[in-house]
Amino acid sequence: MRPTTAILSLFLLATTSCTHGSNRQETPASPASTDLAERSRALARRVIIADGHVDVPYRLHEKLGPDGQPTEDVSQRTAEGDFDYPRAMEGGFDVAFMSIYVPAELQTKPGASKALADSLIDMMEKLARTSPDKFAMAHSVEQARRNTQEGKVSFAMGIENGSAIEDSLENVAHFHQRGVRYITLTHSSDNQLSDASFNRGKRTWNGLSPFGKQVVAEMNRVGIMVDVSHLSDDAIRQAVELSQVPVIASHSSCRHFTPGFERNISDELIRALAAKGGVVMINFGSVFLTQAANDYERQVGEAVETFGKARGLTRGSPEIRTFLETYRREHPAPLARVEDVADHIDHVVKLVGIDHVGLGSDFDGVGPTLPIGLKDVSQYPNLFRVLLERGYSEADIEKIASGNVFRVWQRVESHAASH
């Protein structure tokens, strides 16, 4: 999801579709809690934190200057957004799977999806080149580990919306050569590869298309992880069955907590994904975490739809944006808390074990819906503190932070190298 269109993309498309935060404390911190907070910060500095979904590329793309270059410099502290280098250092953050997001509406314009994906990759490569002391590209687990040892934040890349492949199987290898290491097969609407979770009541393919099945095989062949976030249940089921290697859900939470919200992943599919060695990477957006937040966002979507239809407005118009801002201000959202993210991690662990859960924040993609205590990349230690309080070992947390997704990434690399 995108920073300025989270509610529109999520609910106007589904039904029709930062600031630095901290945990609130009701009582003064005790010496024990202070020690635990410091232990959490030290742990964040020691382990590699790899986040499966960070929307910096499209955040920068939405604010290009007259020269076509980003007007924000995330190598410095920024007033907006959830990611920049200083805050990443504060949070012990190491590896961002940067989302190469392709809007669904480009699918009707031949060539446009691939062109945008290539331009966003160009942007991230340029950012790494212009701040080589802070950022570096990571095309392998080995590179990511080396960059961390050198004190750099790694940019791994995942394409969000397989429409970037257009109708050419050769583009899978093209994007692998460009450094893409996962592809989310679809996004907010059905595309040429797969049905989407948001297209409820409409199923173009009843899962994956014939071409989508070829793409899964080609991703296995070249070494790109298959990402099943945003897919319909049938499409997820088929992708897991077809893939010869484990798959990931790069930014999905547990449907157990939000019944009826197909964008989250069901217990049945968590089990299927884990049985093949895959990883569910928990989304931090409040709408993914609690039923109250999910219901609120649905109400906002309905209000926006009613307002827009009554005035004949198109999605994304200034009037709708103003209405949305006013509505949110007058009707504050019931935000989740960092403990709710831990609840989703707990659920996956109890269901299938510690080896099948990771972090997929959706930073810069879910805007103001981030939970209290996890408002930006500086705050991963807050989550680690909650997990330590709940009895997770440091070795467990290291698996959640990066070990599990690195295992899948390496498995996919090894499979490609041996075939």
Residue-wise pLDDT tens digits, 224-244: 999 999 999 999 999 999 999
Which amino acid belongs to residue 173? Answer: A
Q: Tell me the average pLDDT of the chain.
A: 92
Give 50: exposed, middle or buried? Use CB within 10 Å, 0-12, 13-18, 19+: buried
Residue entry with tokens 């006013």: 326
* pLDDT average, residue stretch 159-168: 98
Residue 12 in this model has a pLDDT that exceeds 60: no
Look up residue 133 and give its two tokens.
Answer: 């002391």
Q: 17-21, 352-356, 396-400: lowest mean pLDDT where?
A: 17-21
Q: Residues in the chain, how many?
A: 419
Kindly give, in sequence order, each residue whose CB lies less than 8 Å from that of residue 274, ignoring residues fewer than 6 positions away: 280, 351, 352, 353, 355, 356
pTM above 0.75, yes or no: yes
pLDDT in tens, 120-158: 999 999 999 999 999 999 999 999 999 999 999 999 999
Asked if 245 and 324 touch (Cβ cutoff 8 Å), the reply is no
Overall average pLDDT of the 394-416 stretch: 98
Instruction: State residue 30's pLDDT score.
Output: 52
pLDDT of residue 266: 98
Give the mean model confidence (pLDDT) for residues 376-396: 98
Task: Name the band, by pLDDT with cuts 50, 70 and 90, for residue 13.
Answer: very low
Helix 380-389 × helix 31-46 angle, to 10°: 120
Weakest mean pLDDT among 22-31, 33-42, 176-185, 202-211: 22-31
Q: What is the mean pLDDT of residues 30-58?
A: 91
Would you state the pLDDT for residue 18? 32
The CB density around residue 122, as the number of other CB atoms within 10 Å, is 12
Q: Cα dist. 31→21, 37, 38, 288 in Å?
A: 22, 10, 11, 34
What integer pLDDT is reported at residue 2 of this predicted model?
A: 54
At residue 26, what is the residue type? E
Q: Which pLDDT tens digit goes with each residue over 241-259?
A: 999 999 999 999 999 999 9
- pLDDT greater than 50 at residue 76: yes
Percent of the chain with pLDDT over 90: 86
Answer whether residue 3 shows pLDDT above 70.
no
pLDDT at position 118 over 70:
yes
Which fold does the domain 6-19+34-417 belong to in CATH?
Answer: TIM Barrel (3.20.20)
Least confident of 3-7, 272-276, 319-323, 375-379: 3-7
In the prediction, which pLDDT does 61 show?
96
Gap between the Cα atoms of 218 and 214, Å rounded? 6
Burial label, 37 (beta-carbon count in 10 A; 0-12, 13-18, 19+):
middle
DSSP notation for 180-246: EEEEES--SS--SSB-BTT-TT--SSSSB-HHHHHHHHHHHHHT-EEE-TTB-HHHHHHHHHH-SS-
Mean pLDDT of 184-202: 92
Q: How many CA atoms lie within 13 A of 68 on its CB side?
A: 5
Q: Which two tokens stand for residue 206?
A: 């009843």
Nearest one of 363, 312, 248, 299 to 10, comparing CA atoms: 299
Where exactly are the structural domains of the chain?
6-19+34-417
Question: Is residue 10 pLDDT above 50, yes or no?
Answer: no
* Residue bearing tokens 């009541």: 201
More confident residue, 242 or 18: 242
| CB neighbour list of residue 405: distance below 8 Å, 6 or more residues apart | 50, 52, 248, 279, 281, 358
pLDDT of residue 1: 57
What distances in angstroms separate CA 392 from CA 33, 289, 385, one per listed residue? 16, 20, 10
Ranked by mean pLDDT, which of 9-18, 26-35, 73-82 comes out on top? 73-82
- Report how far residue 37's alpha carbon sits from residue 85's, in angstroms, rounded to the nearest whole number: 22
Tell me the longest C-alpha to C-alpha distance in the chain.
61
